[in-house]
């Protein structure tokens, strides 16, 4: 039941049943295989999406074809809702990178409800503020951290921030994509990982990483960041 799914989202927590009812009637659930393009940058933005399963990357590319990964969307998150108050074109392209199940929802419905329901507007504001903070941090990292540190920081965001003792991390998707996501080449990522191994004693096997203790890694990565380790300001919970 889509309505119940919607209800679990903080963004919709303050919405009444009527609206959710009507929204779910306009919803469209579909599967999409790897490499399927959901929408292209500059297309008319009619829908936003909830990613129920799989992974989706958001990106832009230059005329020469070089890509900049804007974000990689994890299961359970929304995307494409951001163009709400812009020019009604998607500001980036979206492509499935791990076969996915998606719900598409009309932006127009969200927009009109926001205009009528102040609580939804507030939720939307919170959600955007949260996102903004992350982006902000991302930019800082590009300025202050070198590549191994950025990788370390990425890994730390994948673990429970309060974990004590040994932890196991699974890279959520391709190393190549992680590299792009962090704004570096795959080769650089690979070398960065080995630097981290030497510097922090972490164990790597395929896409599984073991740490005796997060503190080594935290110290290594967070020394070049404005916030110290238990890094509240970063994506730890659901965004929307």
Partner DNA sequence: CGAGGGTTTGAAGTGCATCAAATAGTGTGG
Partner DNA sequence: CCACACTATTTGATGCACTTCAAACCCTCG
Choice between 13 and 223, CB closer to its own copies: 223
Among 97, 128, 158, 159, binds its own copies (CB under 8 A): 128
Q: How far apart are CA 73 and CA 97, in angstroms?
A: 10
Tokens representing residue 107 in the block:
């932006």
Among 168, 194, 226, 227, binds DNA (CB under 7 A): 194
- Terminal CA-CA length for the chain: 19
Among 148, 200, 211, 220, binds DNA (CB under 7 A): 148
Find the binding residues for its own copies in span 92-121 (CB under 8 A). 92, 114-118, 121
CB of 89 to its own copies, least distance (A): 10
If contact means CB under 5 to 8 A according to the sort of partner, which of DNA, its own copies, none does residue 185 touch?
Answer: DNA
Q: How far apart are CA 196 and CA 204, in angstroms?
A: 10
Tell me which residue of 172, 149, 191, 176 sits closest to 67, measured CA to CA: 176
Choice between 16 and 187, CB closer to DNA: 187
Burial of 228 (0-12, 13-18, 19+ CB in 10 A): exposed
Tokens representing residue 33 in the block:
């295989």
Choice between 157 and 232, CB closer to its own copies: 232
36 touches DNA (CB under 7 A)? no
Among 174, 212, 213, 219, binds DNA (CB under 7 A): 174
Choice between 80 and 152, CB closer to DNA: 152
Choice between 207 and 210, CB closer to DNA: 207
Length of the chain: 240
* DSSP conformation letters of 71-95: EEE-TT-EESGGGGGTTSB-SSEEE
CB of 158 to DNA, least distance (A): 15
Which residue stretches of the chain are H helix?
Answer: 2-7, 17-25, 107-116, 118-144, 147-156, 175-181, 186-200, 214-222
Q: Give the footprint of DNA on this chain (CB under 7 A).
A: 146-148, 174-176, 183-194, 204, 206-207
- Residues lying near its own copies in the complex (CB under 8 A): 41, 60-64, 66, 68-70, 82-87, 91-92, 114-118, 121-122, 124-126, 128-133, 135-136, 138-140, 142-144, 183, 223-226, 228, 232-233
């Amino acid at each position: 039941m889509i309505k119940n799914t919607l209800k679990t989202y903080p963004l919709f927590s303050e919405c009444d049943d009527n609206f959710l009812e009507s929204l779910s009637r306009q919803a469209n659930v579909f599967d999409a295989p790897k490499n399927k393009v959901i929408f292209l940058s500059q297309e008319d933005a009619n829908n936003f999406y909830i990613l129920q399963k799989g992974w989706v990357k958001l990106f832009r590319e230059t005329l020469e074809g070089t890509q900049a990964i804007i974000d990689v969307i994890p299961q359970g998150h929304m995307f494409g809702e951001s163009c709400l108050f812009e020019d009604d074109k998607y500001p980036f392209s979206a492509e499935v990178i791990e076969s996915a199940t998606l719900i598409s929802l009309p932006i127009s419905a969200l927009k009109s409800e926001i205009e009528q329901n102040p609580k939804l507007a507030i939720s939307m504001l919170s959600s955007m503020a949260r996102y903004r903070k992350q982006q902000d941090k991302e930019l800082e990292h590009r300025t202050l951290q070198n590549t191994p540190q950025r990788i370390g920081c990425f890994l730390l965001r994948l673990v429970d921030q309060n974990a004590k003792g040994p932890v196991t991390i699974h890279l959520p998707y391709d190393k190549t994509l992680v590299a792009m996501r962090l704004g570096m080449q795959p080769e650089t990522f690979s070398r960065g990982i080995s630097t981290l191994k030497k510097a922090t004693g972490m164990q790597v096997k395929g896409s599984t990483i073991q740490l005796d203790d997060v503190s080594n890694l935290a110290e290594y990565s967070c020394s070049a960041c404005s916030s110290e380790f238990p890094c509240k300001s970063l994506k730890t919970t659901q965004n929307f």
